[in-house]
Structure 1
């Protein structure tokens, strides 16, 4: 190989942090040393990784390809080293977990207590950044398990079913729509509506409930934090369609009300996603099975 590990780490740091100054700080070297490292790597490979765009560095097409390899490979190598150290010294095994689509953790303390009783050597580490890019986080090795609603078949990723949920209209407590047995999309046409994501997610409310009706709420605002949406709705400033599980704590405290979507409702299945390459007795698989048993219980 022409590049050393420090060159791969350099590519990953610059890609993730966006500029040389921050990348140098993260790597513990000066900006001058980092510039020399870039030049050295380019000499070894016989081509440019970056080109200047104002004060920033922009990846060349060839640089983008090799950086993607760095982003994929380094977390795998780091995880392998960590697994070796844990197995060699019989230490606790850390499993990194994220939640896709919704930033909700009301369930976490109770599950940690359950897991510590059933598998005391397994330690859970929450990775909040996995919420926005769950599959990529799994593929790159920055997270080991993702609790995800729905599931799109993805090579190298397997689902372990956890529980059945539903999408519901969430409104302020005692809102007129909360007294209906169910709503139709037309009921949202004049309402202030908060959506969790500006992207159309397969299997969610826009695809299955709003678009088929050809009626779109006139006042739509993107708020990418579940807790923020809950606070806005609780204050009487609007409504949203969310996973019932994701807002369970607020519903139980009667801060919010919910109403079924359509006469038959909209189901939503949740799974624990893990890498297919995980060994049969890996910590990730063990924790996934604990999650499934806990939810069934």
Structure 2
């Protein structure tokens, strides 16, 4: 290796800060020392990592690949040290866990009780950012296990089936569609439709239900937090097609109504996603197995 760990730390700091001055402050060294370190790295590699644009530094095309790698390996090394300390002190494995797309944790306390009994050596750490960027968080090591809806085929990621769910139309209790046994896509033509995704997700309602029909909702509004979507619907602002399981608390509390989507329903599978590099007996894979057992039990 031509670069030392301090050079990789420098790349990450510059990438996140944008200027030498700010990056030097983050690293706790002088700007002059950081400038020398950058020059040293570029001499060792034989090319420029950054170009100056006024006071800011912009990655070169070759430098971009290096900073992307730095953004992955530095957090991974930091977490490895933290996990080692946890294991050395307590014999406990920390598994960072998140739920993709939905902010739903009504099931978590009960599951944690089961985990405490069956896997006392595993400590769960909830990572909220996994809701918005699950695959990126998984790939860069920010999270170890993601409970995700839909069927995902991603290089370097294993998908372990956990449970079967259903996509349903969520409406206000007194909405005109609430009395129907099921809806057709044409029923949405006069509706304000709320969605948490800016783009159509493969295997979800747009691809399987809305687009094939040729019908489109009257107005589509993106609300990136699903909890907020449910609150807006409960207040009478729009409708949405969401996971029945994810909105179970709102259904139980009679805040919203849910209606079957299509005559034949829209099934939705949930899976536990882990990195393929995880050993077969790792804490992350054991957690995935326990999730499947718990949901299917």
TM-score, normalised by the number of residues in structure 1: 0.92
Task: Indicate the residue corresponding to 1:12 in structure 2.
Answer: 12
What's the secondary structure of 1:110's corresponding residue? helix
CA 212–19 in structure 1, closer or farther in 2 if over 3 Å, else same = farther
Q: Deviations over 1:6-34 (max 9, x none)?
A: 21122223334555565445434455544
Distance 1:160 1:42 in 2: 43
Distance 1:85 1:243 in 2: 39
How many aligned positions are there? Answer: 297
SS at match of 1:116: helix
- Which shows bigger deviation, 8-17 or 24-33? 24-33
Give matches, 1:82-101, under 5 Å: 82-101=82-101
Task: State which drifts further: 113-122 or 69-78.
Answer: 69-78
Distance between the aligned counterparts of 1:20 and 1:173, measured in 2?
A: 56
Q: Report which stretch shifted further, 32-41 or 122-131.
A: 32-41
Map Cα deviations across residues 209-258 of structure 1 (whole Å, 9 max, x no partner).
Answer: 11111111121110000111111111101111111111111111000111
Q: Which residue of 2 aligns with 1:244?
A: 244
For the residues of structure 2 that align with 1:18 and 1:113, how far apart are their CA atoms? 44
In structure 2, C-alpha distance between the alignment counterparts of 1:212 and 1:225, rounded to whole Å: 26
1:1-297 equivalences in 2 (<5 Å): 1-16=1-16, 18=18, 20=20, 23-297=23-297
> How big is the alpha-carbon RMSD for the aligned residues of Structure 1 and Structure 2?
2.0
Q: Deviations over 1:55-80 (max 9, x none)?
A: 43221101011112223333443344
What secondary structure is seen at the aligned counterpart in 1 of 2:289? Answer: helix
Measure how far apart 1:126 and its partner are. Answer: 1.0
Following the alignment from structure 2 to structure 1, what is the Cα–Cα distance between the partners of residues 261 and 42?
57
2:86 and 2:93 in contact (8 A); partners too: yes
Cα deviation 1:149-196 (Å, max 9, x = unaligned): 112222221112111001111101121101100001111111111111
Q: Distance in 2 between matches of 1:129 and 1:19?
A: 26
Judged with a 3 Å threshold, the aligned counterparts in structure 2 of structure 1 residues 199 and 35 are, in CA distance, closer, same or farther, namely farther
Q: In 2, Cα distance between the equivalents of 1:79 and 1:194?
A: 37
* Structure 1 residues 210 and 56, CA gap change in structure 2 (3 angstroms): farther
Q: Which runs of 5+ in 1 are unaligned?
A: none
Distance in 2 separating the partners of 1:21 and 1:211 = 51
Question: Which moved further from structure 2: 103-112 or 10-19?
Answer: 10-19
Which SS does the other structure have where 2:164 is aligned?
strand
Contact 2:101–2:226 (CA under 8 A) maintained in structure 1: no
Q: Which runs of 5+ in 2 are unaligned?
A: none
